[in-house]
Structure formats: C-alpha cells, structure tokens
Amino acid sequence: MKKQVLVLFAALFLALGSAFAQQGQRMTVDEKVSLALDKIEATLKPSEAVRSGAKTVLIEFYTNQQKAMEELRAAGNVDREKMMEIRKNLSAERDAKLKAIFSAEQMTKWTNEVEPALRPQRKEGEKEKQ
C-alpha cells in the first residue's frame, strides 16, 4: 500500500513538473516592450521624447506581431515561411518608423546591437523542434 501511494505521488510530481515547465514560454507584449526599452536605454541613452516614440512604435509592432501569429495558429496554418515573411514585413515597417525617431548613430546601434539582442536565443544544448 505504501509503495502504491509513493508511486502515485511520484507520478503526480512528474506530471505537475512537466506542466509547469511548459508554461510561460511566450512573453506578453508589455514584457517584450519593457525588455526592448531597457536595452534601448542602456545602449542608446535616448531623450524622453525619443524613448516615448520608440515605446509607441514597439507596442504597435509587438501587438501586430502577436495578432498575426495568433491568426496563423488559429487558422491551423503554421507555415514557417509565411511566419517569417510576416515577421520580416512587420520588422521593416518598425525599422522605418524607428528611423524617423532615432538619429543616424542611434539607428546604427539599434540595428547592430539592440535588435540582435532582442531575438529569442536557444538555451545551450536545446535542439530545434521539427
């Protein structure tokens, strides 16, 4: 009887552990914007006007990106090429708006330092899911 209870608790522990491990993989729009603004602040040291303009552009970008990806997932059309095309178009639109806000030097730093740091990175040893 004790062994059965112990096995039951072990199975429950493993099931709950794997369930919690899979939660929270996607960041919210606010979390993404906050992370991006922190990196912009550290790298570009923008004025308040530039910072607020960048915040507006980033909120719009991340909201549109999330909406587009949810629509693709809801349609059952998880075509990697289509997702990449949508992200590329949204990124180009975002960069055009940021170019109007940032100075030439800030835009160069955005392109070379900040933007690459915002891309999701795989953890060491994590394999690509197929």
User: Along the 130 residues of the chain, how does pLDDT read in single tens digits?
Assistant: 888 866 766 666 666 666 565 555 788 889 999 999 999 998 888 889 999 999 999 999 999 999 998 888 888 877 888 888 999 999 999 999 999 999 999 999 899 988 888 887 666 655 555 4
Three-state secondary structure of the chain: CHHHHHHHHHHHHHHHHHHHHCCCCCCCHHHHHHHHHHHHHHHHCCCHHHHHHHHHHHHHHHHHHHHHHHHHHHCCCCCHHHHHHHHHHHHHHHHHHHHHHCCHHHHHHHHHHHHHHHCCCCCCCCCCCC
Could you tell me the pTM of the whole model?
0.71
